[in-house]
Amino acid sequence: MLMEAQKYVWEGAIPLQIHLHESEVTTFPPPPPALILAPRIGYLPLLIGLIKPYFSSALPPGVDTVWFDYKGLPLRWYIPTGVLFDLLCGEPERPWNLTVHFRGYPANILIPCEGEDAVKWSFINSLKEAAYIINGNCKNVMNMSQSDQVELWRSVMNGNLEAYQRVSSKLKLGTVEDEYAIKMNLSSVKSQQGTGETEATGQVKTGRIPIRLYVCSLSEDFDDLEDVPKIDIWDKISFINRPVEIHKEEGKYFTLHDAIKAILPEFFSEKTLMESPSQGGEDKMNFPSEDVSGRKAEEEENVCEVLETSCTSKAEIRLIRIQGIEPKLEIPFSWVVNNLINPDHFLHICVYVKVPNLNTT
């Protein structure tokens, strides 16, 4: 039975108002912006088929190299659209005003994108990484039949959760026991049955969760989301790929607070970011990768240095956002994972951190 929250995630969309960059407009008056509903779980390059015909009559001659920016910041195309929105819009902006470019691709900032195929293989590589974290290998993803691979990708493009679950169940990536649901079920039927029936779900269980954490470090203080400073360079964001292992204790849930603390212990203690033990080599994992994912990993490794060098005293987490939701830290992590993961089987978490002024010495 499909979970209601999971269906909401797959049906979620962000209203976009897309403007053609003024330097590429060859008509007068300039074309009005395009209005599009972009799926949260999708990727910006997948919208090109809708956008290009709309602006084609206003474009200058030349070869198309499409990319998007938000307030001058080139957008990384391999990050899901919903994650980009959650990360870059402290105060949600609706419609989200983006600029599309068909010329002048910023290859010094963005990984080249050769259309839908590049997005597809970036997604498949993320799925391989997730499988490696969960099972210790990615052979089920590597051995997918061509037809299953096509159906899986189409289900993501079309937002078809039923088709996605039908194919992804063959990958044996499993689910996590929902501790809260189990306890509620047990309390309602404990006089009639034991725990065996409750725990039997037909899925492989896993306690190792693939996480992509996006940590936005801001030296400016803010009290309201509308006062969140503009993110104008990617160097303000640290990308952390680190699995979380769910540790169960009798009588306690493993919460979202526990998961974030496992990844960023420096924000939950008196230790500074410089002293954080989580930055050591023991937490690093090597995943199977191809050209795109290898370049992404290199970017992530470099930009993660922000957390180590940005400040010399305790920082403060100001905001945590997952799938557009700002969940309470006390929520059972198993519920978060089962309902809010992306189709690549990663849980994408955006975190805003207030740090001391980066320019101080």
- CA-to-CA dists, residue 45 to 274, 282, 357, angstroms: 38, 36, 36
Q: Which domains does the chain have, with CATH numbers?
A: 4-101 (3.10.20.620), 116-199 (1.10.246.190), 208-354 (3.10.20.90)
Q: Tens digits of per-residue pLDDT, 244-274?
A: 998 877 778 899 999 999 999 888 764 433 3
Q: What does the block give as tokens for 290? A: 């191809």
Q: In angstroms, rounded to a whole number, what is the distance separating the alpha carbons of residues 171 and 238?
A: 30
Alpha helices in the chain (DSSP H): 4-11, 48-55, 81-88, 116-135, 139-142, 146-158, 161-168, 179-189, 196-199, 256-263, 291-303, 305-309, 333-340
Q: Say if CB 206 and CB 338 are below 8 A apart.
A: no
Q: Tens digits of per-residue pLDDT, 86-132?
A: 999 999 999 999 999 999 999 999 999 989 999 999 999 999 999 99
Confidence grade of residue 359 (pLDDT, cut at 50, 70, 90): low
Range scoring the smallest mean pLDDT among 38-47, 249-258, 334-343? 249-258
The rounded mean pLDDT for the chain is 83
Confidence grade of residue 189 (pLDDT, cut at 50, 70, 90): very low
Q: Within 10 Å of residue 317's Cβ, how many Cβ atoms?
A: 15
DSSP annotation of 331 reads: S
What pLDDT is recorded for position 298?
55
Confidence grade of residue 292 (pLDDT, cut at 50, 70, 90): low
Q: In angstroms, rounded to a whole number, what is the distance separating the alpha carbons of residues 194 and 62?
A: 69
Q: Tens digits of per-residue pLDDT, 126-145?
A: 999 999 999 999 999 999 99
Backbone angles phi, psi at 329, to 5 degrees: -70, -15
